[in-house]
Amino acid sequence: MTRRDSVLDLLCRYYRVFTDPDVPSEESNFGFVERTLPLPVEQTALVLVDVWSVHYIDSMVRRIKQIVAERIVPTLQAARTAGVTIIHAPSPWIVQKRGYQTAKAELAEPPVEPASWPPEGFRHIYRSGEWAAFGRPQEPRLPGIYQWYETALDIAEPVRPAGDDLVISSGPEMHAVLEERCILHLVYAGFCANWCLIGRDYGIMQMNQRGYNIILLRDATTGIESADTVDDLLMTKMTIREIETKWGWSATSPDFVAACEGIATP
pLDDT for 110-160, tens place per residue?
A: 667 778 899 988 988 999 899 999 999 989 999 999 999 999 999 999 999
For residue range 234-248, list pLDDT tens digits in order.
999 999 999 999 999
The answer to whether position 140 is within a domain reads no
Residue 6's pLDDT is what?
95
221 near 253, Cβ under 8 Å?
A: no
Q: Are 215 and 45 in contact (CB under 8 A)?
A: no
Task: Identify the domain containing residue 237 by its residue range.
Answer: 7-12+23-108+154-261
Identify the pLDDT of residue 223: 98
pLDDT for position 173: 96
**Any domain includes 84:** yes
What tens digit of pLDDT does each residue of 186-197 get?
A: 999 999 999 999
Question: Please, how many CA atoms are within 13 Å of residue 49, restricted to the half-sphere of its CB?
Answer: 29
What is the tally of structural domains in the chain? 1
The length of the chain, given as a count of residues? 266
Q: Does residue 188 sit within a domain?
A: yes
In CATH, what number is assigned to the domain containing residue 47?
A: 3.40.50.850
Tell if the pTM clears 0.85, that is, is over it.
yes
Please report whether residue 98 resides in a domain. Answer: yes
pLDDT of residue 266: 54
Confidence of residue 212 (pLDDT cuts 50, 70, 90): very high
* Domain assignment of residue 122, yes or no: no
Q: Is the pLDDT of residue 46 over 50?
A: yes
Q: Is residue 137 part of a domain?
A: no
**Residue at 129 is within a domain:** no
| Rg of the chain taking only CA atoms, in angstroms | 20
CA-CA distance, 170 to 260, in Å (whole number)? 27
Of all residues in the chain, what percent carry a pLDDT higher than 70?
Answer: 96
Residue 234 lies in a domain: yes
